[in-house]
Amino acid sequence: MIAFPLILVFGCLFLVSNEMGIVRWYQLHKKRNQTQAEIDHLIKKETELSSELDRLINDREYIKKIAQEKFHMVKPGEKIFRVIDRSKIK
C-alpha cells in the first residue's frame, strides 16, 4: 500500500530531476525558441543589407540621395539652407 505512493513520488522526482528531465527539456525548448527568433531576425537583417548593397551598387539616384542626406554633399552651384528651431536654443 505504501509502495505505490513511494514509486509515484520517486518516479516524479526522476522525471523532474534527471539529466533529461522535464525541467531540462523546458530549458532546452525555451533556448531553442530564442535561438530561432535570433536566426529569423538575422535573416531579415541580411535581406535588408543585401537589398541596400544592391541599391548602392546599381542605383545612381539612390547614391546621390544618400550623399546629400547623410554626408550633406551638394552639387556645384547648390546652396544649403539650415533651419534653426529657436525653441530648442536656450
- Asked, for residue 15, whether it belongs to a domain, the answer is no
- Asked, for residue 26, whether it belongs to a domain, the answer is yes
- Asked, for residue 1, whether it belongs to a domain, the answer is no
- Asked, for residue 45, whether it belongs to a domain, the answer is yes
**Structural domains of the chain, count:** 1
Residue predicted with more confidence, 68 or 34? 34
Distance in angstroms (rounded) separating the CA atoms of residues 21 and 14: 7
- Asked, for residue 60, whether it belongs to a domain, the answer is yes
- The whole domain housing 31 covers 21-76
- Yes or no: say if 10 and 4 are a contact pair by the CB < 8 Å rule: no
Whether residue 78 is predicted with pLDDT greater than 70 in this model: the reply is yes
Mean pLDDT of the region 34-56: 98
What is the pLDDT at residue 9? 74
What is the pLDDT at residue 76? 87
Local confidence band at 51 (pLDDT 50, 70, 90 cut-offs): very high
Cell of 57: 551598387
- Asked, for residue 32, whether it belongs to a domain, the answer is yes
Does this model's pTM top 0.85? My answer is no
- Yes or no: say if 80 and 74 are a contact pair by the CB < 8 Å rule: yes
